[in-house]
Amino acid sequence: ENGIIFGNIVYDVAGSTSDRNVVVLNDIHIDIMDYIVPATCTETEFRSMWAEFEWENKVSVNTTLVNLSAYLTSLLASTNMKCLTPDKALEGECGFMAANLYAKSIFGEDALANVSLEKNMAKPDSPVTGHIRIRAKSQGMALSLGDKINMSQKTRQKKMVATQG
């Protein structure tokens, strides 16, 4: 659920005088993107799940990107989520954008996200700001997806600094 597997191997050796042998395995970290796939649902189903799911993780947008659509495209690529908001509603430049995203794990667990983005239109070079609210039935799914978003934002910023330096 939270992307980490713990375990031990316990075994007996025939003819041995000791009781048992135990090998402690290192933590195995699993990337959430290996089991999340984009999915679709109706607006009614989205609202129903949004009201039902109790685990929420709010992630602040931290980016150097200056275009709302570019940030949303980047977010979709890094999360394997599908944008449910129609393209027509996302067109134009008005200084803000809101979108609903949805994905499903291969185990059948739903993950929802509501993206609220802003851009100071008076300052063309100002970065996109806002937040992403993630909801899921389990705490692990909500936290793992939030961690993935934060990690992708940090990676993107490091790449931008490297290309500018």
pTM of the model: 0.80
Span 13-30, average pLDDT: 77
What confidence tens digit (pLDDT) does each residue in 23-56 have?
888 777 777 888 899 999 999 999 999 999 999 9
Q: Is 126 strand, coil or helix? A: coil
Q: How far apart are CA 148 and CA 158, in angstroms?
A: 15
Residue 71 and residue 64 in contact, taking contact as beta carbons nearer than 8 Å: no
For residue 165, give every residue at least 6 positions away whose Cβ sits within 8 Å of its Cβ, in sequence order, or none.
Answer: none
pLDDT value at residue 21: 82
What confidence tens digit (pLDDT) does each residue in 124-157 have?
899 999 999 999 999 989 999 999 999 999 887 6
Residue 38 and residue 81 in contact, taking contact as beta carbons nearer than 8 Å: yes
| Secondary structure element (H or E) that encloses residue 139, with its range | helix 139-164
pLDDT over 70 percentage in the chain = 91
